[in-house]
Structure 1
Amino acid sequence: MMQQPPAVPAETVDWTFVIGTGCKQCGFSAQDVASTGDRLRATIPRWRESLSREDASQRPEPTVWSPVEYACHVRDTCRIFRERLELMLREADPTFANWDQDAAAVEGDYFHQAPPEVADQLAAEAEATAAAFDGVRPDQWDRPGRRSNGSLFTVKTFAIYFLHDIEHHVHDVTR
């Protein structure tokens, strides 16, 4: 088994700015949120391709996640965001439990995961999450929800924020 690599520095950027401005780093721009499911599904073949590479478990730098680590994060992000979306659609202005993505990476031992298994898991979670976004009715896009730090989202801004995370990480593993 590969030795545990050094810790990846914790993410400190508040990426909510992408909701209004997009992301120059990865080229993300918000489009019609009704396309969230289709855009999410479109990432699945790109993840499968990245995870089929011989170097899928290798970090490009000691403190930068490998493609499999990014894929584990995306897999879990799909699940967490689907749960939060369901909460927003079910409850009035819910507050989401905190999710420490960096702790999740260590606790889930992302570094040692098998790329083919993660590819299948990611595809299943992405498909389920895409279907959840497909099911949002036009009158539900303005329903609110809050992060544990107080950041307010609507289902619409939540979809944009979520989709950027996924597409940005595709950019991270394909550049």
Structure 2
Amino acid sequence: MNQSLLSRLINQPDALNHLLAGLTESEIRQRPEPTKWSIYENLAHLGRYQEVFIERIEMIITEEVPSFSRYVADSDPGFASWTQFSFQELRGQMKAKRTVLRDFLDNLREDQLTRISLHPAYGPMTIEGWIEFFVLHEAHHLFTILKLGGALRSSEQPMGL
């Protein structure tokens, strides 16, 4: 597997240490608007999507060119389960699932990495293409968390300390 891609997959969640520093659990759970996700819900989505992602990769390995519908977290009972964790449990589960995902992907053979499936918006992608999509999708949510946290911060609690 492309080592840069694997490195981003492994290390990208470390950004949460800076993004969440100084925020209280109450702030992390606060929705910016009634219909918009909180930082906590964004984190729960990222945690749950790691499980969904493994399921999809397993299908790509075992099926001929599977096609996936768009993942909608609010329609997924598994996502609802992730929103029931305490904040500390959520962070622990996210780290544990990332280790499972990393180990799973690290054990794929080169011929498996080139297997193809169809994404509803982005078309045919290899498993490496799906990993790139996963990392970019996660980065989008990390950027959302940055914006949400910025709206909650004061000069006494700057990001990064």
Instruction: Give the one of 106, 114, 129 matched to 1:134.
Output: 106
Superposition TM-score, scaled by structure 2 size = 0.72
Distance (whole Å) between structure 2 residues aligned to residue 83 and residue 120 of structure 1: 20
Contact kept? 1:95, 1:145, Cα under 8 Å: yes
What letter corresponds to residue 10 of structure 2 in structure 1? R
Q: Is the 8 A contact 1:68 1:110 kept in 2?
A: no
Q: Deviation of residue 94 (structure 1)?
A: 2.3
Correspondent of 2:76 among 95, 104, 107: 104
1:40 aligns with 2:32: no
Aligned ranges 1:39-78 → 2 under 5 Å: 39-47=8-16, 50=20, 53-54=23-24, 55-78=27-50
Query: Could you tell me how far apart the structure 1 residues matched to 2:137 and 2:89 are?
Result: 21
Pairing partner for 1:163 from 129, 135, 138: 135
Give the deviation of 1:68 after TM superposition. Answer: 0.9
Q: 1:69 to 1:142 in 2, by over 3 A?
A: same
Q: Using CA pairs under 8 Å that are at least 6 residues apart, name the structure with larger relative contact order, 1 or 2.
A: 2
Gaps of 5+ in 2: 148-161
Task: Give the secondary-structure state (helix, strand or coil) at the position aligned to 2:144.
Answer: helix
The answer on 1:95 being equivalent to 2:67 is yes
Q: Which residue type is aligned with residue 37 of structure 1?
A: L
Point out where structure 1 has 5 or more consecutive residues left out of the alignment.
Answer: 1-31
* Partner Cα separation in structure 1 for residue 100 and residue 48 of structure 2: 12
Aligned length: 144
Superposed CA RMSD in Å reads: 3.0
Among 66, 83, 86, which residue is 2:58 paired with? 86
Structure 1 length as normaliser, TM-score? 0.67
Structure that is richer in helix per residue: 2
Quick one: which amino acid aligns to residue 99 of structure 2?
E
Measured in 2, the distance between the counterparts of 1:116 and 1:131 equals 23
Contact 1:78 1:129 in 2 (8 A): yes
C-alpha distance after superposition, 1:113-159 (max 9, x if no partner): 42111111111112211222222333333211124689422112211
Q: Relative to 1, partners in 2 of residues 1:134 and 1:34: Cα closer, same or farther, differing over 3 Å?
A: farther
Q: Return the index of the structure with the highest Cα Rg.
A: 2
Percent identity for Structure 1 against Structure 2: 23
